[in-house]
Amino acid sequence: QVQLVESGGASVQAGGSLRLSCAASGLPINRNCMGWFRQAPGKEREGVARYWGGGASSWYADSVKGRFTISQDIANNTVYLQMNTLKPDDTAMYFCAADWRPDCAFRDATDFPYRGQGTQVTVSS
């Protein structure tokens, strides 16, 4: 059974940083597609970042490129999302997502079949 548990969400001021964690069980994070998406109130879900190929390939939304970094800790089967230079527009519930497929170059994290319960990120100006 696949389980994803996010943590690390918090309230921060604009310009600050946060690191979200996603503890995974039931699938190896270095052999599958792993990603993050977010959803703000009244807005559609938005894919933020994902990787595949054991982490060799990654994709980022234009809105976070250069500020967010997705990474993996294989020993702890945990995926991270490092978020720097946060903006009020980054305020949302952030979800970790997973897919058994080894390649998701053309598949957004919002379409992955497994997701966690989410962690809230609030950025104030």
Please give the single-letter amino acid code of residue 81: L
Q: What is the DSSP string of the chain?
A: --EEEEE---EEETT--EEEEEEEESS-TTSSEEEEEEE-TTS--EEEEEEEGGGTEEEE-TTTTTTEEEEEETTTTEEEEEE-S--GGG-EEEEEEEES-S--TT--GGG-SEE---EEEEEE-
Confidence grade of residue 13 (pLDDT, cut at 50, 70, 90): very high
Decide if pLDDT at 98 tops 90. Answer: yes
Residues 29-48 have pLDDT tens digits of 999 999 999 999 999 999 99
Mean pLDDT of 12-25: 98
Confidence grade of residue 91 (pLDDT, cut at 50, 70, 90): very high
Residues 46-60 have pLDDT tens digits of 999 999 988 899 999
**What integer pLDDT is reported at residue 12 of this predicted model?**
98
Please give the mean pLDDT across all residues of the chain: 97
**What integer pLDDT is reported at residue 54 of this predicted model?**
87
Mean pLDDT of 77-90: 98
Burial (Cβ within 10 Å: 0-12, 13-18, ≥19) of residue 21: middle
Give me the residues paired with residue 73 across strands: 78
CA distance 118 to 4: 9
Mean pLDDT of 93-120: 96
> For the chain, what is the radius of gyration of the CA atoms?
13
Decide if pLDDT at 61 tops 90. Answer: yes
